[in-house]
Each structure stands twice: as C-alpha cells, then as structure tokens.
C-alpha cells in the first residue's frame, strides 16, 4: 500500500474513533462480566482492582470459592487496604451438602450486599459469583436487584463460567474467555503464582 493510501486510511480510522469518543458522554459505574471456559477471568478482575487502587480509588473483593488456599492476590491487596470476604467453605461441594453450602453462600452474599450499598466503594469484585446462581444457592433476582440499587458511580465485576442470561443482559461489558489451549490439558500442574 502506498504511503498516501495508508495515511488516508489512518485518517479515516482516527475520525471514526474520535466520533465514538465524542458520542460516549455518560458517566456512571458499570457492571463487567468475565465469563467463558478460558483462563483469565479472575486475573482480569484483580487486574482491574489493581488499576482502581493505583488511582487512589476504593475497591473490595468477595470470593465465592470453596478452597482456603494461599491466595497471591489477597496477600498483596489486603495490606493495601482492600477488604476481602472469602466464602472458603472447604470442599463441601464434593459432599453435596446443599444446605450448608447455601448457608455459606448467603452469609458471603450478605457481605457483598453491604459493599453494594456503600458509596465509598468505587469497585466491587464478586469472584466466581456465577456458580452461586447456577447451583441455585442464590436467586438471580437478588443479584439483579442489588446491582440495580447500587450507588451510581460504583462499578462491579462478576466472574465465573456459565453466567446466567439475565446477568449477561444486565451487564454493560461482557467478555467471554475462550480456551484456545490450556497447559493443564498437556499434563502440566497448576502453579502457585500463575494459577492462584
């Protein structure tokens, strides 16, 4: 391509981008969903938490996970003033104790609700929340209500596979991680500092 044509094309592209920047005038918090079967959902959520606190904003994390293993992100973020609430029920899902799991989920959800009502928090990350809905521990309507009523400037990130359709519809930004390949499938063990 000649230099002239390249220049013209770049100019048209710039014009389009400038028009879209000009058109985007709303200022409010957003709901982001990171879903899909590929690796990167939780790391993307924590990347955004780091970004927010790096700008002096206030962020909090709620993790709907069963394990109580050493958590690299928590080790660095909690001392920096990012509160963490971790469900950490142990591996009760394997024992299929629906009643205790539901109770643990609802207790952790109660912590999430307090954050979702607190205008001090610019960003709330709800890691692995999608499973609480798909396992029927938590009604989707409760999640949608809490997101609807949250402070206007608060953003929320939700991660996990198989996100409920209503939540996908409600969210402002949805990214689906697609597993092109994963080291685990080649027999490589999960690694501290890479996978948790």
Query: Could you list the residues that contact Mg ion (CB under 5 A)?
Result: 41-42
Geometric angle at alpha carbon 53, from 52 and 58, rounded to 5°: 90
Contact 164, 156 (CB under 8 A): no
Contact 127, 45 (CB under 8 A): yes
Q: Does 196 bind ligand ATP (CB under 6 A)?
A: yes
39 labelled catalytic: yes
Residue least distant from Mg ion (Cβ): 42
Collect all residues with Cβ–Cβ distance below 8 Å to 27 and sequence separation of at least 6: 153
Dihedral angle over CA of 40, 28, 113, 147, nearest 10: -80
Q: In sequence order, which ranges of 58-139 are alpha helices (DSSP H)? A: 72-77, 92-95, 98-116, 129-134
148 labelled catalytic: no
Q: Name the residue nearer to ligand ATP (CB basis): 23 or 186.
A: 186
Q: Does 74 bind ligand ATP (CB under 6 A)?
A: no
51 labelled catalytic: yes
**Residue from 41, 66, 150, 164 that binds ligand ATP (CB under 6 A)?**
41
Q: Does 11 bind ligand ATP (CB under 6 A)?
A: no
Q: Does 179 bind ligand ATP (CB under 6 A)?
A: yes
Size of the site for ligand ATP (CB under 6 A): 16
Catalytic option among 22, 91, 181, 189: 91
Distance CA 63, CA 126 (A): 6
Catalytic option among 51, 78, 107, 184: 51
Question: Which residues of this chain interact with ligand ATP, rule CB under 6 A?
Answer: 37-43, 159, 161, 177, 179, 182, 184, 190, 195-196
């Amino acid at each position: 391509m000649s230099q002239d044509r390249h220049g013209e094309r770049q100019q048209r592209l710039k014009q389009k981008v400038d028009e879209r920047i000009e058109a985007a005038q709303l200022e409010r918090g957003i709901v982001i969903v990171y879903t899909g079967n590929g690796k990167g959902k939780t790391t993307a959520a924590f990347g955004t938490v780091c970004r927010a606190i790096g700008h002096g904003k206030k962020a909090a994390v709620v993790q709907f996970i069963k394990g109580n293993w050493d958590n690299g992100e928590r080790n660095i973020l909690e001392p920096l003033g990012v509160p963490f609430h971790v469900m950490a029920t142990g591996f009760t899902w394997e024992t299929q104790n629906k009643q205790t799991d539901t109770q643990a989920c609802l207790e952790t959800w109660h912590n999430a609700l307090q954050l979702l009502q607190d205008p001090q928090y610019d960003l709330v990350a709800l890691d692995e929340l999608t499973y609480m809905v798909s396992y029927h521990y938590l009604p989707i309507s409760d999640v949608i209500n809490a997101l609807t009523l949250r402070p206007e400037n608060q953003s929320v990130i939700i991660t996990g596979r198989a996100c409920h359709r209503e939540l996908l519809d409600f969210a402002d930004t949805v990214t689906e991680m697609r597993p092109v390949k994963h080291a685990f499938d080649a027999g490589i063990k999960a690694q501290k500092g890479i996978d948790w």
